[in-house]
Structure 1
Amino acid sequence: MLKVEALNQYYGGSHILRNVTLDVPEGTLTVLLGRNGVGKTTLLRCLMGVVQAERGSISWRGKPLDKLPPYARVAEGLAYVPQGRDIFPRLTVEENLLVGAASRKAPSKIPDHIYALFPVLKEMRARRGGDLSGGQQQQLAIGRALMSEPQLLILDEPTEGIQPSIIQEIGRTLRRLVDEMGMTVLLVEQYYDFARAIADRYWVMSRGEIIAGGAGAEMEANGVRELIAV
């Protein structure tokens, strides 16, 4: 289980995260929802050690992560797909994937399951990443993260700027990772209908605080759509 307790973070004089407490049960797909600017991305950056939280604690499977640098958190089984994808546009698809395997001892081959999850990447493995469409680049970013063989996959708004058909494909892939491969997924998302369709659990953030949480099947009854409406 990923457990976050009383996490606080500041940017200058702004209090960005305010005593954030949440958990992500192992083997579930948990969605974190909220409007723009409420602190979701900052929270993910704290989870990965890209930003050090001022106060509070983060643990994964009972092991504290607070003092570990990002590469050590990857070694502990965490992987991160950032907002905006951040692929290497001049590297080929295959080279981008192999970069994601840098933490493994023998990153010389793309595992079959990566191409099974994303057949388009196999078709385009010799093409430069910058030549792919936005949806294909998002699949590449997820595939690259999976190359580190994580137990916990953290994604920051993977549906942003993606055409609807690819959004649905990404949703099916995330469910397969949880249901068939036993992975744990934490997904930051603004697209309510997408989140409701795939979530086992949910949390809602507003102004740096967690204001609601529960089972994915209860999102509609609990008025989550209204909580995140602009």
Structure 2
Amino acid sequence: MLEVENLNQYYGGSHILRNVKLTVPDGKLTVLLGRNGVGKTTLLRTLMGVVPIKTGEIRWRETPITKLAPHARVAQGLAYVPQGRDIFPRLTVEENLLVGAASKKAPKKIPDRIYELFPVLKDMKARRGGDLSGGQQQQLAIGRALMSEPQLLILDEPTEGIQPSIIQDIGRTLRQLVEEMGLTVLLVEQYYDFAKAIADRYWVMSRGEIIAGGEGADMDNDGVRTLITV
């Protein structure tokens, strides 16, 4: 389980994260929702150690990771797919994937499982990442993150700018990772219907604070759509 306790972060004089407290249970898909600019991306970046926190604690499976560098958090089993994907446009699909295995000491090869999850990547493994469509790049970014064999996969708005058919594919893949591989997933998302369709748990953030949380199946009854659109 990922546990966040009383997390605070500032940019200059602005209080961006305000006593954030949440949990991400093992083997579940947890969605974090909220409007633009409420601190969701900042929270993910603090979880990965890209941005330091002012106060608070982050624990992964009861081990404090608050002071660990990003590469050390990857070694602990965390992987991050950032907003915008950040693939290497001049590297081939295969080379991009191999970059994701840089933290592993074993001989580097691409597991069949990656290509089973994303068949398009196998078909295009010799093409440069920059030549792929947005949806294909998103699948590449997720595949690259999985190359580190994570236990917790953190994704920042993977549906942004993606065509509807690929969004559905990504949703099915994320559920497959949870149900068949036992992966824990934390997903930041703005699209309510997509989040509701795949979430086991949810949290809602507003102005840097967690204002609601519960079971994914209860999102309609809990009025979550209203919370993220008002």
TM category, shorter: over 0.9
Mapping 1:52-201, distance limit 5 Å: 52-201=52-201
Amino acid at match of 2:126: A
Q: 1:45 corresponds to which residue?
A: 45
Structure 1 alignment gaps of length 5 or more? none
Amino acid at match of 2:227: L
Q: Greater shift after overlay, 106-115 or 66-75?
A: 106-115
- 1:162 aligned counterpart, secondary structure: coil
C-alpha distance after superposition, 1:25-80 (max 9, x if no partner): 00000000000000000000000000111000000000000110000000000000
Calculate the TM-score normalised by the size of structure 2: 0.99
1:108 CA displacement: 2.4
Q: 1:217 corresponds to which residue?
A: 217
1:105 CA displacement: 1.0
- 1:83 aligned counterpart, secondary structure: coil
- Quote the Cα distance in structure 1 between the aligned partners of 2:108 and 2:73: 22
Relative to structure 1, the CA distance from residue 107 to residue 43 in structure 2 (aligned partners, 3 Å threshold; closer, same or farther) is farther
- Quote the Cα distance in structure 1 between the aligned partners of 2:132 and 2:101: 21
- Quote the Cα distance in structure 2 between the aligned partners of 1:69 and 1:25: 23
Are 1:17 and 2:20 matched, yes or no?
Answer: no
1:17 CA displacement: 0.1
Q: Which runs of 4+ in 1 moved over 4 A?
A: none
- 1:153 aligned counterpart, secondary structure: strand
- 1:222 aligned counterpart, secondary structure: coil
- Quote the Cα distance in structure 1 between the aligned partners of 2:107 and 2:212: 41
Asked whether the 8 Å contact 1:98–1:107 carries over to 2, the reply is: no
- Quote the Cα distance in structure 2 between the aligned partners of 1:102 and 1:203: 32
- Quote the Cα distance in structure 1 between the aligned partners of 2:80 and 2:135: 17
- Quote the Cα distance in structure 2 between the aligned partners of 1:25 and 1:118: 26
Q: Greater shift after overlay, 102-111 or 129-138?
A: 102-111
- Quote the Cα distance in structure 2 between the aligned partners of 1:34 and 1:68: 27
- Quote the Cα distance in structure 1 between the aligned partners of 2:14 and 2:107: 42
- 2:71 aligned counterpart, secondary structure: helix
- Quote the Cα distance in structure 2 between the aligned partners of 1:138 and 1:192: 19
Structure 2 alignment gaps of length 5 or more? none
Calculate the TM-score normalised by the size of structure 1: 0.99
C-alpha distance after superposition, 1:135-182 (max 9, x if no partner): 000000000000000000000000000000000000000000000000
Relative to structure 1, the CA distance from residue 170 to residue 107 in structure 2 (aligned partners, 3 Å threshold; closer, same or farther) is farther
1:131 CA displacement: 0.1
Query: Sequence identity, in percent?
Result: 83
Q: 2:204 corresponds to which residue?
A: 204
1:106 CA displacement: 2.6
Q: Greater shift after overlay, 105-114 or 4-13?
A: 105-114
Asked whether the 8 Å contact 1:101–1:107 carries over to 2, the reply is: no
